[in-house]
């Protein structure tokens, strides 16, 4: 993993993005590490708010902020020219600037010059470490859980974070291992696996979850899906390199087709996706098991969600829970993860 942790706490920058769908990075930080979020800031005219104190960089710095985080990711993942004055203002106020966008901060001359003048850092978290190894395939001590999915963007990160919190509440030594930009910002460290060259994906996963004490758990944030037409490679690399003891499959209740790919790309039955993940995981860890299903039931009433989770449990023979609904179902999922 990265040897130096990210500077915290943060000021969350919403720029001119007024659609909450493209502010998921900021929302994830607000939801999971509110203690590391000093406030939020947006460009003039942008009315999107997340419920944090609205502070400009100077005010945030006076309240202890160490860095401004680009908290939005519009389509294309590019830093817009209109955002740059705000990023300059943050540097001049004494904040580092952190971004997980595809276009690097280090490629914008005005920011580079200002950062040098103000002795501040530009931190691009979507740039992986330069010295990643090829995977060894050797088994490592410690326990590992990997969240896998039927598709992208359906709850692998939130499931991993929820399980980490629940393990910790039970007194179990555990670390959340981040593999995406928002997860890295939440954890303060990690490896952006979608930016790693294919030859080193499994090696990055090995580095992310090193040998540990026998009772220690690493809960690894999954990416993509083995059945995804575009992102299967990153899923396979994580699965091979993580060598998980336990898998939790994530699925969205309303998802019938690969998101963004149209009706000609239907999702396979959940049972088939479970078997596919287990088959690949067994190559490195023959005793791996599927603990249960994390079902994203957003938009359903409590009764509808309960009936659907009952159906999944009956059909699959596995515990099924929505981590964001919590309650007894989720506690059963946690117990299933920990039961050998």
Tens place of pLDDT per residue across the chain (340 aa): 443 579 999 999 999 999 888 898 999 999 999 999 999 999 999 999 999 999 999 999 999 999 999 999 877 778 999 999 999 999 999 999 999 988 899 999 999 999 999 999 999 999 998 899 999 999 999 999 999 999 998 999 999 999 999 999 999 999 999 999 999 999 989 999 999 999 999 999 999 999 999 999 999 999 999 999 999 999 999 999 999 999 999 999 999 999 989 899 999 999 999 999 999 999 999 999 999 999 999 999 999 999 999 999 999 999 999 999 988 999 999 999 999 7
pLDDT of 2: 42
pLDDT of 5: 79
Q: State the span(s) of the chain assigned CATH 3.40.50.300.
A: 143-338
pLDDT of 37: 97
Per-residue tokens: 121? 């850092």
pLDDT of 102: 85
Per DSSP, the three-state class of 91 is helix
Regarding the domain delimited by 10-124, which CATH topology (the fold level of the hierarchy) does it fall under? Rossmann fold (3.40.50)
Please count the CA atoms within 13 angstroms of the CA of 138 that sit on its side-chain side: 8
pLDDT of 4: 53
Q: State the span(s) of the chain assigned CATH 3.40.50.720.
A: 10-124
Are residues 173 and 216 in contact, defined by beta-carbon separation less than 8 angstroms? yes
Regarding the domain delimited by 143-338, which CATH topology (the fold level of the hierarchy) does it fall under? Rossmann fold (3.40.50)
Burial degree of 3 (CB within 10 A; 0-12, 13-18, 19+): exposed
Locate tokens 């202890």: which residue? 64
In sequence order, what are the beta bridge partners of 10?
37, 67
Question: Among residues 142, 231, 237, which one has the least CA distance to residue 191?
Answer: 237
CA distance 33 to 15: 21
pLDDT of 165: 96
């Amino acid at each position: 993993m990265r040897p130096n942790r990210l500077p915290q706490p943060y000021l969350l920058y919403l720029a001119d993005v007024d659609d909450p769908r493209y502010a998921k990075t900021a929302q994830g930080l607000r939801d999971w590490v509110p203690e590391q979020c000093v406030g939020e800031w947006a460009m003039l005219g942008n009315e999107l708010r997340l419920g944090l104190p609205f502070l400009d960089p100077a005010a945030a710095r006076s309240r202890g902020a160490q860095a401004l985080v680009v908290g939005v990711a519009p389509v294309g993942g590019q830093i817009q020219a209109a955002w740059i004055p705000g990023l300059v203002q943050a540097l001049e106020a004494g904040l580092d600037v952190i971004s997980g966008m595809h276009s690097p901060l280090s490629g914008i001359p005005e920011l580079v010059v200002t950062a040098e003048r103000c002795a501040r850092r530009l931190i691009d978290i979507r740039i992986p470490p330069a010295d990643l190894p090829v995977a060894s395939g050797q088994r490592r001590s410690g326990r590992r859980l990997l969240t896998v999915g039927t598709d992208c963007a359906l709850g692998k990160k939130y499931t991993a974070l929820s399980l980490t919190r629940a393990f910790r509440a039970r007194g179990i030594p555990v670390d959340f291992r981040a593999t995406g930009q928002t997860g890295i910002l939440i954890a303060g460290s990690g490896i952006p696996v979608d930016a790693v060259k294919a030859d080193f994906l499994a090696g990055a996963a090995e580095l992310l979850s090193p040998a540990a004490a026998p009772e220690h758990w690493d809960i690894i944030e999954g990416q993509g899906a083995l059945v995804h037409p575009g992102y299967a490679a990153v899923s396979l690399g994580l699965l091979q390199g993580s060598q998980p003891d336990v898998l939790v499959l994530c699925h969205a209740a309303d998802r019938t087709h690969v998101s963004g790919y149209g009706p000609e790309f239907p999702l396979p039955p959940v049972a088939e996706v479970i078997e596919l993940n287990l088959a690949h995981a067994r190559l490195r860890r023959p005793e791996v098991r599927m603990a249960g299903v994390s079902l994203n039931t957003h938009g359903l009433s409590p009764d509808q969600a309960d009936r659907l989770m009952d159906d999944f449990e009956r059909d699959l023979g596995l515990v099924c829970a929505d981590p964001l609904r919590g309650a007894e179902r989720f506690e059963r999922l946690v117990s299933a993860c920990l039961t050998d």
